[in-house]
Amino acid sequence: MLKVEDLSKSYRTGDHVYPVLKNLSFQVEKGEFVAVMGPSGSGKTTLLNCISCFIPHDSGKIFLNGKDLSGLDETGLAKVRNQNLGFVFQDFMLLDGLTVFENICLPQVIASRPVPQMEAKAARFCEAFGIEKIRDKYPAEISGGEKQRTAVARALMNSPYILLADEPTGNLDSRSCRAVIDAFLQAKEEMDATVFMVTHDSFAASFCDRVIVLRDGTIYTELTRNGTRREFMDELLEVLRELGGAGDDEE
């Protein structure tokens, strides 16, 4: 579903060039729930922004369902973002002036899809993610967990190839965090959605099928969940301990 080949990205500050991603390669299969972890400065957020095409990369290729995203023009990128990618952001990025239901409809509104089907799908999602009671409320009137579940539902509206989540539990308490993770799992199981999540939260990552651990812009290790979630989380914590703590990513 998602294939990253020899991806490199560096930042320039004055005369200094800081390489952030160094020839990174990996693959995410359809229906897989993958997390990216790593200490501060390891390049996980930069990786997500390159895949999202929010920032250009220096070299390498990014394939989404076999299509190379490198070198797409603005129109092409907008189409990919609307049709093939679904985004979930740390601070939800809901439009304050629209209700929960209207926010969920937004990707299809942008794509000018037929209204009855759109509304039916949005209603289904509201029910599926347990937010039907708040569907007519505005973002300011709901909790953080509800906001993020709304964001997940919105990200899935156009049935994207992959859901890209940037620290989706970063602003949430533990109960809301669990609700959001459940939403991802539900999307994966019921809709066969592929989820690619950047996080520093080992609890959230322990629900994933696979975790890619980055260090200094390269893949330090990849962990695949074979046993229980608890065992996987212990395994993750052990690796992070080796790295010297997960830390926040403030790139």
Partner 1 sequence: MTKSKLFDKLREKNRGQYRMLAFCIFLSVLLIGAFAMMYFGPTVQEFLPEGGDIRKMATLLMAATAAGCSIFTLYASMLFFRYKSREYGIFLALGEQKRNLNRLLFRELAGVTAYASLAGLAAAVPTSWLIWKLFESFLVSTDEMVYRFGFGGVVVGAGFAVLLALLLGIAGYRFVRRTDIMKILRTQHQPEMVKKIPSWTLPAGIVMIPLGILLALGIPQMSVYLLGRSAPSVTNLFYVFAVAGIYLVLLNIVGGSRADRNRRRFYKNMVSVSLMRFSARSATRNMCVIVLLLFACLFACSFGLTYLDSGSLGSMENTKGFAMHYPAGENTLAKEDIFDTAEEHDVQIRDYAEGDGADLVISHNTTDYTEDGRYVSADREHAKTSLFLSEEMYETLTGRTAEVEPGTYRTVITPEYQENIWEHVDGLYRAANPDTGTAKELSFAGTLEDGNLPRMSDPYAYVIDSGDYAELTEGISGTWSEHLVLFDVDDLEGSYPFAKALYAMYIERASEDTFVMSLYDRWEEKKAQEAGQEYDYSGRLDVSTENTQLINEWKYVPDFRIVSSQDILQSISVYVMLCLYIFIITLATAAVMTYVRGISVAADNRDVFESLQKLGADGRYQRRVLNSQLSKIFTYPGILGCAVGMLFVVFQNWINDRRYTFSEIKNIGILSVVCVLILLFFYVIYRSAKGRAEGILGIKTREKYADKRNSIRYT
Q: Would you tell me which residues interact with partner 1 (CB under 8 A)?
A: 49, 52, 54-55, 74-75, 78-83, 85, 87, 89, 91, 93-98, 102, 105-107, 109-112, 115, 118-119, 140, 154, 158
Nearest-Å Rg of the Cα atoms of the chain is: 18
Give the residue with the Cβ less far from partner 1, 27 or 117: 117
Shortest CB 26 distance to partner 1, Å:
23
Query: Cα(83)–Cα(67) distance, rounded to whole angstroms?
Result: 13
Count of alpha carbons within 13 angstroms of residue 130, beta-carbon side = 13
Contacting residues for 16 by C-beta, under 8 A, at least 6 apart: none
Distances (CA, A) of 109 to 82, 101, 136, 151, 185: 10, 12, 17, 15, 26
Give the residue with the Cβ less far from partner 1, 49 or 206: 49
Shortest CB 52 distance to partner 1, Å:
8
Give the residue with the Cβ less far from partner 1, 71 or 227: 71
Shortest CB 29 distance to partner 1, Å:
24
Q: For residue 23, count other CB atoms closer than 10 A to its CB.
A: 14
Give the residue with the Cβ less far from partner 1, 29 or 173: 173
Shortest CB 78 distance to partner 1, Å:
5
Give the residue with the Cβ less far from partner 1, 1 or 106: 106
Distances (CA, A) of 241 to 10, 53, 167, 236, 246: 27, 32, 20, 9, 8
Query: Cα(117)–Cα(69) distance, rounded to whole angstroms?
Result: 29
Shortest CB 114 distance to partner 1, Å:
11
Token output for 141: 């009137």
Give the residue with the Cβ less far from partner 1, 138 or 203: 138
Shortest CB 175 distance to partner 1, Å:
18
